[in-house]
Amino acid sequence: MAAIYKRKQDKSKKRSCWYIGYTDHTGRRKTCKGFSDKKETERLAAKLEHDVMLRKRGIIDPEQENQAKKRTASLAKHLQAFEKSLGMATSLHVKKTISRVRRIINESGMETPADINIESVEMVLQGMLEDDEIGHKTYNHYASSMQQFCAWMVPKRMTVNPLLGMSKLNTEVDIRYKRRALTPAEFQKLVQSARTSGIDIQCYSGEERARIYIISYMTGLRRKEIASLTPRSFNLTANPPTLTVEAACSKHRRKDVLPLHEELVALLKEWLTGDPDEPLFPKLARRHTSTMVRKDLERAGIPFQTKEGIADFRAAGRHTHITELLRNGTSIPEAMKLARHSDVKMTMRYTHIGIEDQHRAVQNLPWERTGSASETSNGHCTSQNDTKEAKPPNDETPVNDRGYHNLSSSDSNRQKRREGDSNPRYLAVHNISNVAQSATLPSLRRIKNLHHICE
């Protein structure tokens, strides 16, 4: 039974509001603010009690009712809850995702989940594309962020995802930031240039920069992952020696254990001499590593940017690491595992295979030359071994017909029997011919007539 009352501090006030206390369909006690008019508040209390009775009997679905309220709620509130749900992702990913979703919502004029549709989202993104503000890849990132937001709202806040089936653009026709891998010789020059430079770049000496480049190339780690490394991250006594990247520092938020190259192990034994818990390269995550690589490449006489792409820190390290793995016989599943990719398509984006690599691959095709045109007869190629073994067993003079030789009568009969086993028609005709050889003349004529019928 609903109860109508006024709060103690409002009893002396004439125009103060009445309040309703009632029990909902789940048995919980709730309070609802009514009106200053007591009769209007009583009508509201009666309605609340009636709705509770309908929910208990199943006439009103509470879940559908809650979703209907959420569909009319502000998208700004939903976006705040969505941002909290991304707590396990990196701060950069959360910042980009939320900012892009918020921009689409604001520029399209969406206010509630019911306003979200493909046409409104595409109109905003097409406008940004026409203004040359974004490229195809960024267009797809905006669309993916919005789709992720809508997928999160299903089914608690929306019944279906309104952006299902939204098409994306082809990124291959609009590459804004193309990278290239370094060759082994170029990478060696990069390391040597850093070591002999004698100057500091981004607060790192030449030897420190060389160590950063070597670790990036030999392990394929990203900049922030290298920044998280401490001497405790390495286990050089294990079999095989390993490197561990903690889940908090890994891009995909999972703990990674990677094997180490034996040459890198020898170098690390000389490098890991400090505090086990101190970072090897402090503040590397905030440094402009691309500037480091560009200046060291220019000193070595290697262009930073070519028609194939730029050679920044990620290209010189991670791209070169994955490319050289595949160049030296590593299978694609192994390379994908070492790169810690969940999709082989992503691994192939880091692989730079040129025409020279393709040429070497073609030359590795197994092929054995079996003969020349002068050794063929009637368009059929025969090898020298075949020619030597082609002597007939009973006749040394070969027949000039397709390279076959005369056979003895016994061999001929065996050959005919083999042909007859695989050819029923030939078997019937062959048997008729054998009978005809021992038949009388009248019988021979009848058998020949049967022979013509079979043919």
Could you report the per-residue pLDDT of 393-432, keeping only the tens digit for each?
444 444 444 443 444 445 555 555 555 554 544 444 444 4
The lowest-confidence range among 107-116, 316-325, 432-441 is 432-441
Looking at per-residue confidence, does 375 or 439 come out higher?
Answer: 375
How high is the pLDDT of residue 55? 82
Q: Which backbone phi and psi does 352 adopt, to 5 degrees?
A: -120, 95
Q: Is the pLDDT of residue 451 over 80?
A: no
Using the predicted structure, report yes or no on whether residue 293 has a pLDDT greater than 90: yes
What stretch of H or E contains 19? strand 19-23
Tokens of 255: 């703990």
Element (H, E) at 345: helix 344-349
- How many percent of the chain have pLDDT more than 90? 52
User: What pLDDT was estimated at residue 51?
Assistant: 85
Residue 408: what pLDDT? 47
From 3.40.390, 2.40.50, 1.10.150, 3.40.50, which CATH number describes the 75-170 domain? 1.10.150
Tens of pLDDT, residues 235-250:
999 999 999 999 888 8
**Position 181 pLDDT exceeds 50:** yes
If one compares 361 and 444, the residue with the highest pLDDT of the two is 361
pLDDT in tens, 314-338: 999 999 999 999 999 899 999 999 9
DSSP codes joined into one string, 82-149: HHHHTTTS-HHHHHHHHHHHHHHHHHHT--SGGG--HHHHHHHHHHHHHTTSS-HHHHHHHHHHHHHH
DSSP per residue over 419-452, as a string?
HHHH-HHHHHHHHHHHHHHTS-HHHHHHHHHHHH
Letter for the amino acid at 137?
K
**pLDDT on residue 406:** 45
The tokens describing 412, both together, are 């001929």
Q: Which of 173-187, 292-306, 354-368, 410-424 has the highest mean pLDDT?
A: 292-306
**Residue 311 pLDDT > 80, yes or no?**
yes
Mean pLDDT of the chain: 82
**In the prediction, which pLDDT does 402 show?**
42
Six token digits for residue 73: 């709620």
Query: How large is the angle between the packed helices 91-108 and 75-85, nearest 10 degrees?
Result: 170
Identify the CA nearest to 191 among candidates 162, 170, 212.
Answer: 212
44-101 pLDDT per residue, tens: 999 888 888 888 888 877 766 666 666 678 899 899 999 999 987 788 889 999 999 9
pLDDT at position 65 is 67
- Report the CATH architecture of 184-359: Orthogonal Bundle (1.10)
Is 262 in contact with 201 (CB distance < 8 Å)? Answer: no
Q: Give the domain ranges of the chain.
A: 3-60, 75-170, 184-359, 423-455
Q: Are 277 and 294 in contact (CB under 8 A)?
A: no
* 8 Å CB contact between 240 and 283: no
**Region 371-395 average pLDDT:** 48
* pLDDT at site 81: 92
Q: Determine the pLDDT at residue 395.
A: 46
- Residue 327 has a pLDDT of 92
How sure is the predictor about 446, in pLDDT bands with cuts at 50, 70 and 90? very low
